[in-house]
Amino acid sequence: MNNEILLLFGCGLLLMMLGVYLLVLYRNLIRLIIGVEVVAKGVTLIFLAAGLFRQDIAFIQSLIVTFIIVETVLAAVMLALVVGVHRIYGSLDIRLLSKLKG
């Protein structure tokens, strides 16, 4: 069982790294949101590994449900912002968002 937990944890960590890779290296706003989503999938896997480690699936399930709600609201608001940015700038390139500079 410990090996399975480590495997789940390692896979979650790998997904988080790939999400951070998307966040750091891409300039397209939609790809950045997909990076956030990939990080969220990794976090869900790590949650599951933690629940298996504590042998308390019921508690971790409720945390995962809460996390999915947070993830969904975050994605919806970010995608609405992307549509707004597209209407104003006509581009999804983050380098053009110069009006955000202080």
Q: Which of residues 16-45 bind other proteins (CB under 8 A)?
A: 17-18, 21-22, 24-28, 30-31, 33-34, 37-38, 41, 44-45
The answer to whether 92 contacts other proteins (rule: CB under 8 A) is yes
Which DSSP letter does residue 93 get? B
Among the listed residues 94, 74, 72, the one whose alpha carbon sits nearest the alpha carbon of residue 85? 94
69 or 100: CB nearest other proteins? 69
The answer to whether 1 contacts other proteins (rule: CB under 8 A) is yes
Q: Which tokens go with 52?
A: 């298996």
The answer to whether 9 contacts other proteins (rule: CB under 8 A) is yes
Going by C-beta distance under 8 Å and a sequence separation of 6 or more, which residues neighbour residue 79?
A: 30, 33
